[in-house]
Amino acid sequence: MRAEDTAKRWRMAVVRAKQKQARRGRCMATKREKIDDDIPMPTYFRFLALLALKIFSAEQVDVAVLEVALGGKFDATNVVEALVVCGISSLGYDHMEILGNMLGEIAREKAGIFKKGILAYTAPQPEEAMIFLKQRALELGVSLQDANPLEPHQLKDQHLGLHGEHQYVNAGLAVALASTWLKKQGHLDRIPLNQTGSLPDEFISGLSNASLQGRAQIVADSQENSKEDDKDYSLVFYLDGAHSPERVHFDLALFVPNQSQYNKLGSNSSAPAEPEQIDLSWQLTRQRVWEKLLHGDKGMSDTNSSETSQVFESLPLAVEWLRTNKGPAK
């Protein structure tokens, strides 16, 4: 593609993004006209939860799977009383400023989604967390069951669609929840006979075809990996969220605005010649925090790059830098 065609495509993408932002602004302005001090505008997640419930009702869905935000008694999703089953995934030290500094405190808050008399499943938990989950379940008359991690042989030589060993834990919980729903609907012939045998084909199909882009996703850079003379320097992206200490063990942090002005980043994409001026104050602040965590009070200078972090104006610029400066695969 010629350089002028590439530049034109970037300009069109910027125009479309600005038009979309303008439409979103008009929509929000309309909503604000209908609210006042008595009916305040809900927070972002509460608004999404309300919108989801409205859509579920309008579409008359057979069953809805609601994932909590922080979890707990005051979570926006906890307004639903007529639950079929409740599930607690693996607990960790997340959102400690709100949920508490100890795993027991976090578990106590998470157990706030239990409903009296409603069956609940939990993924394997540390003993400290299990004590509080069981205590709350006992208080509410909740039958709290263990959801065992799925074993590879239960998939009949198929593989989970989601990468990572931890997904076998999540899959075990998902199977337990889905089986409970099917049982309540009278579909006893469609649920697993036991927790160790092979799963029904419908379960295997769902688990093997599951896709969650951006979470534990492995993407090879086709542009770089197609170079025959550069096999030792293949570029592979491991995409995942990173909001807990276990997820942030890496050598170099790249800080990029989370709302790109571009619609799509293809394998042959390159950064525009003259990107718009973007406010990077938030990215620079996060970079300084990152450097302070790594190096203590020494921190870093006012520059926006170091041996352990970089700040970029856009995702294409960051990818272009990686393609140029990547090291040998380890």
Chain segment 151-165, per-residue pLDDT in tens: 999 999 899 998 888
pLDDT for 329 equals 45
Q: Which residue has the higher pLDDT, 42 or 167?
A: 167
The CATH number assigned to the domain holding 48 equals 3.40.1190.10
pLDDT-derived band at 231, boundaries 50, 70, 90: low
- Grouping H, G, I as helix, E, B as strand and the rest as coil, residue 41 is coil
pLDDT for 15 equals 57
Do 247 and 219 fall within a single domain?
yes
Do 14 and 127 fall within a single domain?
no
pLDDT for 98 equals 53
Most confident of 2-16, 186-200, 217-231, 237-251: 186-200
The pLDDT tens digits of the residues spanning 51-64 come to 999 999 999 999 99
Do 64 and 153 fall within a single domain?
yes
39 within a domain of the structure (yes/no): no
189 within a domain of the structure (yes/no): yes
DSSP string of 268-329?
A: T----SSPPP---HHHHHHHHHHHHHHHGGG---SSSB-SSEEE-SSHHHHHHHHHHH----
Task: Kindly state the tokens that stand for 5.
Answer: 């065609």
User: The pTM is what?
Assistant: 0.67
330 within a domain of the structure (yes/no): no
**Sign of torsion over alpha carbons 317, 318, 319, 324:** positive
Could you list the residue range(s) of the whole structural domain that residue 254 is in? 214-325
Query: Is the pLDDT assigned to residue 150 strictly greater than 80?
Result: yes
pLDDT for 305 equals 62
Are the C-beta atoms of 144 and 135 separated by less than 8 Å?
no
SS3 labels along 203-215: HHHHHHHCCCCCC
Do 147 and 275 fall within a single domain?
no
Q: How many other CB atoms sit within 10 Å of the CB of residue 241?
A: 9
Query: Cβ neighbours of residue 17 under 8 Å, at least 6 residues apart?
Result: 261, 262, 263
Do 178 and 281 fall within a single domain?
no
- Judged by average pLDDT, the poorest of 183-187, 190-194, 308-312 is 190-194
Most confident of 194-198, 263-267, 275-279: 194-198
Among 206, 158, 160, CA closest to 182:
206
Q: Which residue has the higher pLDDT, 34 or 282?
A: 282
36 within a domain of the structure (yes/no): no
Query: Is the pLDDT assigned to residue 330 strictly greater than 50?
Result: no
DSSP H/E element including 151: none
